[in-house]
């Protein structure tokens, strides 16, 4: 795999629920659990409700995969668990996977909302 330079594109949000590291976070501060919504970004730390947490909103991020992803460059959306899934039809595209993974493993994505 090619080596990537990583820029930091982060924001902070007040969590409104328990957030697990490497899951998609919604604009409401909770785990994004609706694949028809565009998440704010990926949580880069675990938190409890009421914490201010950093969220990766652009660039390269690492997220937990909700399914096996066997080829790079696929459109990625958030699933009902806050994990990364392949876009099947009308889900909101958050970006593209850079590497491959099995279910439950980390997958590196490029956040790209420019579709």
pLDDT digits (tens, 9 = 90+) for 6-49: 556 899 999 999 999 999 999 999 999 888 889 999 999 999 99
pLDDT at 47: 93
Residue 50, Cβ density class (10 Å: 0-12 exposed, 13-18 middle, ≥19 buried): exposed
Q: Please indicate, yes or no, if residue 25 is contained in any of the structural domains.
A: yes
pTM value is 0.89
Q: Please indicate, yes or no, if residue 1 is contained in any of the structural domains.
A: no
The two tokens of residue 66 are: 């909700």
pLDDT band, residue 1 (cuts 50/70/90): very low
Number of domains into which the chain is organized: 1
CA gap 94, 57 in Å, rounded: 10
- Helix and strand totals (H; E) in the chain: 0, 8
The per-residue DSSP string of 17-66 comes to S-B-TTSEE-TTSSB---TTSPP-EEESS-B-TT-EEEEEEEEEEEEEBS
Q: Which residues contact 48 (CB under 8 A, 6 or more apart)?
A: 15, 18, 19
pLDDT at 7: 57
Q: Please indicate, yes or no, if residue 3 is contained in any of the structural domains.
A: no
Q: Please indicate, yes or no, if residue 75 is contained in any of the structural domains.
A: yes
Q: Please indicate, yes or no, if residue 2 is contained in any of the structural domains.
A: no
Q: Please indicate, yes or no, if residue 23 is contained in any of the structural domains.
A: yes
- Residues 47-99 have pLDDT tens digits of 999 999 999 999 999 999 999 999 999 999 998 889 999 999 888 999 999 99
Q: Please indicate, yes or no, if residue 101 is contained in any of the structural domains.
A: yes
CA gap 72, 31 in Å, rounded: 25
pLDDT band, residue 113 (cuts 50/70/90): confident
Is residue 2 predicted with pLDDT exceeding 80?
Answer: no
Q: Please indicate, yes or no, if residue 82 is contained in any of the structural domains.
A: yes
Find the domain containing 70 and state its range: 10-111
């Amino acid at each position: 795999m090619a080596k990537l330079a990583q820029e930091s594109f982060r924001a902070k949000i007040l969590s409104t629920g328990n957030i697990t590291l490497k899951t998609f976070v919604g604009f409401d501060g909770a785990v994004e659990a609706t694949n028809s919504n565009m998440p704010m970004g990926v949580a880069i730390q675990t938190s409890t409700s009421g914490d201010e947490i950093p969220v990766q909103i652009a660039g390269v991020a690492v997220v937990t995969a909700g399914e096996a992803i066997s080829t790079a460059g696929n459109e990625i959306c958030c699933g009902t668990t806050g994990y990364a899934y392949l876009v099947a039809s009308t889900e909101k595209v958050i970006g593209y996977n850079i590497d491959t993974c099995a279910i439950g493993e980390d997958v590196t994505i490029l956040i790209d909302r420019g579709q």
